[in-house]
Structure 1
């Protein structure tokens, strides 16, 4: 199995030169076939600091140059958002970012040896966090039909044709526009600020960690673009380090990942900690209270704060609220949905992943909506129309400007979040997973959920009707294509999921407490994940309700003991 750090190893289930070449030349063949004038428009290639990322970016570029395709190869380390930004600016045919975000093939996939090579290559471009991240000509990550088209093209082009990439940068087809794209990127970041003249006066102190990744120089430029005083860096994590020596897992969501940043903040009496993941497309934050305790914001809490910020900005523009839209993944908080119902703007949900969020935003734009914000609970946030993908740098400075403005009003991010709960209802999440290494057991569990009392038919599944004393009010099964809230066809509005994925909504008999529960399989790990959110007027009642739902989910729906499911 390939480790997180992306070392090159031989073998079909490893990341290595052969796998990169096969994926790149299959992608090249498909792009030439599917995109008009692809060779002249060119492709964008970038890489971060992971082991062998620069080499693999060169091999990727070589595969395209060998077919007379122009390549805009970014020189040096770049953050992921620069690639889709460049695709849009240059009107390129596609973009490829080499990030090393690959956890290998999971043992639970139960693949035969003959299928491992093929599955490894396809996982590189179709996983949730692929090491070879592909953006289409619309500057958004690929979805159907292009993911399947690329998949078939890779399978048809497995014979490696190009190995030497030493002369790539000297090729007339290899063009360096890195500096121009970086400058253009920060012009677009600067356009996001609304308080540039007052930002320099903020008394707040910010500590920033780059998590051993590439974000530090980009964050320095972004702070300058917004006019903020310099942040305090976490020196031990400031420089790119593919070994990630100070963290067990370089993910801002992981417990302990921000310990060094918080220690640094305590030393400097800083008010907030900011964090980007290693390729700088995700963002996290923490707030120090007056008693010195720290609040770690969840992705949903940050999404709610950002959604409110963008709503307030839109209102100041004087534009009609019915022309505003925001997007979130279906497993993210429903609070922005509640906000939309209360305020009169459009809310759209989509499948998990920014390939769906970005494409949903583009579709809404085509329908005449302005879409200034989208997010997913896994710390991904999208601002403005220049990048339809998550951007940790933009999210960081937007957060800083938001809390700076709140501070001028005598508020904090935490206190403002409580105000929003009072206004739109209290929302609390409880997300986790069950561990199961047997695909057949997973299928059996979901089969039971779809035929809970044994009366399902080929036309109509039969799902649980209650959970923890709540009545199930709707079920949307994106695996079999059933949505109880959409009669008479009962077809879901969202596309189907490649794995098991069912979402339940339920409420108490008096309607005061509600939950949304999504249960789905992981595409990369032996897990059945659940995303649970409770809402209501009373925070205590919601807090009591959620553990009861989790207990019934595990004990009765999943039969965790009988099916030998593990828990974190």
Structure 2
């Protein structure tokens, strides 16, 4: 069906409603109208995410209801409607409305809905799914995207994002729904009276806080150093304000200052271009406050509080924003050192995504701990925890991604900025007791393991044409692999879509055991780059890494590869 026909169906259905002015206005903008109706917003392995507005390719009440109907059909098919679905939402525009619509559509289908009565974080939703024994979970969030976005993230019974096979099943149910306007929710009062709608109370929050605090490795060093530690925190207008502050205050951190301009929820995120703790600019207001109060370090969390950005003061008084890789390897090394001090059991393992720093492999090996590498997406780290539980083999200690997400403990199955905040504070106290900052600790690790430089290059290409360019760029590189990058020969390549790796020097091929994914990886001399389309944004992303025995050696290779890959991405997306 042509997009114009779909548009006409929506226009007819919405005539005389509050949505009529918006739907009528789309007719005057052909390009916008086509982008809004040429397809349904894709429901992938991470749920769906898109710009807010009317249309099949937008986040709105009708696409939310349609997706929820598919989820309800899935839950009913597996016979777990009594276990129910837990629902949370962040501070984005319409998040609370979309969450309630989700709950009421589930109730209309006889599926019990557990709904938080105010905004809560992604990790708290994951925790609730496990604690309440739910069949699934939903978070209304678009993570760190700009304000015009919202999303619908689905979780499985294990508390992790929905598994690939289950997501495909839910998608098939959603795709079978032709008329989104036929999907309706139960009246809220009726749902409450029937016991189908249950609001989640504070007791779950308290249990979560207690479990987070139980992950503390060295309470003594915190007690020793906490009075002299000064932390500035910004929730970036999101859901992290209450949980992060609660945990740090209960940890005994007295000198915790919050950026007032970014403290309260605001769907417009007026103080930042995007509420992304990966962006150093997100720390601008925090830096001003940190200088005023003499803080040692700064934290920032994204709207759904699963990502943590960390900035530490250097010797010259300025702040250094750590990369997600740096925070990840620092925490991993700290956790492994503290575990080693108490004695390893022998079956411990840590996990990283394939696009995260290879330095983690070297650090894990130095402790004799198994490193497991998984595809991008924290669901795959959660799957390793589930696998260990099912087989009784392996003790999960830590997992991280370069995109500022990490996890310790197993009572949450997604990245958790609240847990990360607590562990970074503990780690800072530990190094402070040794007269070191976290920046000093990172430099010591570079001396021990070599310097690793990493960055993520991305090109945003929106709309129908942009999506086609992103898809075409990856396919072009698959069909015409480069022989050299930055003056260095490509030694090996791995194609995760074709599930094979090739040693270009010997010609030997090996099979890749990870699930299929549209990812291409290239190995150079002490350097690499990985190309993939983003799963949540209209972006082509390249992950560049280089390492060397010295900072100078690493930088020379890194600069050469970054320049070459930047040029390559430009050529691929012309």
- Give TM-score scaled by structure 2 length: 0.84
1:374-523 residue pairs with structure 2 within 5 A? 374-434=399-459, 437=465, 442=470, 445-452=473-480, 463-484=481-502, 490-497=510-517, 499=518, 501-507=519-525, 514-523=526-535
Matched, 1:147 2:171: no
Matched, 1:341 2:365: yes
- Aligned to 1:73, the other structure's residue is in SS state strand
C-alpha distance in structure 2 between counterparts of 1:103 and 1:266, whole Å: 28
Task: Answer whether contact 1:430 1:546 (CA < 8 A) is retained.
Answer: no
Please point out which of 195, 200, 213 is paired with 2:218. Answer: 195
Q: Quote the offset at 1:157 in angstroms.
A: 3.2
C-alpha distance in structure 1 between counterparts of 2:424 and 2:144, whole Å: 29
Q: Quote the offset at 1:306 in angstroms.
A: 0.7
Please point out which of 126, 150, 155 is paired with 1:84. Answer: 126
- Aligned to 2:164, the other structure's residue is in SS state coil
C-alpha distance in structure 2 between counterparts of 1:297 and 1:21, whole Å: 40
Unaligned stretches of 5+ residues in structure 1? 107-128, 453-462, 508-513
1:61-140 residue pairs with structure 2 within 5 A? 61-101=103-143, 131-140=151-160
Task: Answer whether contact 1:6 1:51 (CA < 8 A) is retained.
Answer: no
Matched, 1:42 2:84: yes
C-alpha distance in structure 2 between counterparts of 1:449 and 1:7, whole Å: 29
Could you say if the C-alpha distance between residues 290 and 536 of structure 1 is closer, same or farther in structure 2, counting changes exceeding 3 Å? Answer: closer
Could you say if the C-alpha distance between residues 94 and 521 of structure 1 is closer, same or farther in structure 2, counting changes exceeding 3 Å? Answer: same
Q: Quote the offset at 1:531 in angstroms.
A: 0.3
Could you say if the C-alpha distance between residues 542 and 6 of structure 1 is closer, same or farther in structure 2, counting changes exceeding 3 Å? Answer: closer
Aligned length: 517
C-alpha distance in structure 1 between counterparts of 2:192 and 2:52, whole Å: 22
Task: Please list the CA deviations of residues 304-352 of structure 1 after superposition, one character each: whole Å capped at 9, or x if unmatched.
Answer: 10110111122123124x4111111111101111112332211111111
Task: Answer whether contact 1:87 1:94 (CA < 8 A) is retained.
Answer: yes
Could you say if the C-alpha distance between residues 443 and 133 of structure 1 is closer, same or farther in structure 2, counting changes exceeding 3 Å? Answer: closer
Please point out which of 353, 362, 368 is paired with 1:329. Answer: 353
Matched, 1:265 2:290: yes
Give the equivalent residue in structure 1 for 2:184.
162
Q: If each structure's helix is expressed as a fraction of its own residues, which one has the higher value?
A: 2
C-alpha distance in structure 2 between counterparts of 1:416 and 1:475, whole Å: 33
Please point out which of 243, 246, 251 is paired with 2:268. Answer: 243
1:265-304 residue pairs with structure 2 within 5 A? 265-304=290-329
Please point out which of 151, 155, 176 is paired with 2:199. Answer: 176
Task: Answer whether contact 1:58 1:165 (CA < 8 A) is retained.
Answer: no
Task: Answer whether contact 1:480 1:496 (CA < 8 A) is retained.
Answer: yes
Could you say if the C-alpha distance between residues 71 and 164 of structure 1 is closer, same or farther in structure 2, counting changes exceeding 3 Å? Answer: closer
Task: Answer whether contact 2:143 2:303 (CA < 8 A) is retained.
Answer: no
C-alpha distance in structure 1 between counterparts of 2:537 and 2:206, whole Å: 39
C-alpha distance in structure 2 between counterparts of 1:533 and 1:493, whole Å: 23
Q: Quote the offset at 1:472 in angstroms.
A: 3.0
Could you say if the C-alpha distance between residues 564 and 274 of structure 1 is closer, same or farther in structure 2, counting changes exceeding 3 Å? Answer: closer
Bigger mean CA offset, 338-347 vs 378-387: 338-347
Could you say if the C-alpha distance between residues 223 and 550 of structure 1 is closer, same or farther in structure 2, counting changes exceeding 3 Å? Answer: closer
Pairwise CA RMSD: 2.7
C-alpha distance in structure 2 between counterparts of 1:522 and 1:65, whole Å: 34
Q: Quote the offset at 1:480 in angstroms.
A: 2.1
Matched, 1:55 2:80: no
- Aligned to 1:39, the other structure's residue is in SS state coil
Q: Quote the offset at 1:153 in angstroms.
A: 0.5
Unaligned stretches of 5+ residues in structure 2? 1-31, 37-47
C-alpha distance in structure 1 between counterparts of 2:426 and 2:103, whole Å: 38
Bigger mean CA offset, 434-443 vs 339-348: 434-443
Give the equivalent residue in structure 2 for 1:123.
none
- Aligned to 1:145, the other structure's residue is in SS state helix
C-alpha distance in structure 2 between counterparts of 1:552 and 1:329, whole Å: 24
Task: Answer whether contact 2:49 2:59 (CA < 8 A) is retained.
Answer: no
Give the equivalent residue in structure 2 for 1:115.
none
Task: Answer whether contact 1:53 1:99 (CA < 8 A) is retained.
Answer: yes
Bigger mean CA offset, 286-295 vs 363-372: 363-372
Please point out which of 317, 321, 327 is paired with 2:342. Answer: 317
C-alpha distance in structure 2 between counterparts of 1:7 and 1:429, whole Å: 30
Could you say if the C-alpha distance between residues 471 and 100 of structure 1 is closer, same or farther in structure 2, counting changes exceeding 3 Å? Answer: closer
